[in-house]
Amino acid sequence: MTNKSLSSNYYRNLSSDLGIEAYANKPFWLFITNTTTLSIIMTWLYNNNNGSIFTGAAFHVVLNITPSIFPFEQAGFGIYFNMILLLIIAFLIGLYYGPKAAQKQSEAIP
Query: What confidence tens digit (pLDDT) does each residue in 11-28 have?
Result: 455 445 455 566 667 788
Indicate the pTM of the whole model. 0.68
Spatial separation of the C-alpha atoms in residues 37 and 6, rounded to whole Å: 39
Query: Could you read off the pLDDT of 51-108 as tens digits, one per residue?
Result: 889 998 999 998 888 777 877 766 667 778 888 888 999 999 888 887 776 666 666 4
Which of the four pLDDT bands, split at 50, 70 and 90, describes residue 4?
low
Q: What is the mean pLDDT of residues 41-56?
A: 88
Residue 6 CB neighbour total at 10 angstroms: 10
The confidence score (pLDDT) of residue 14 equals: 47
User: Tell me, what's the pLDDT at 106?
Assistant: 62
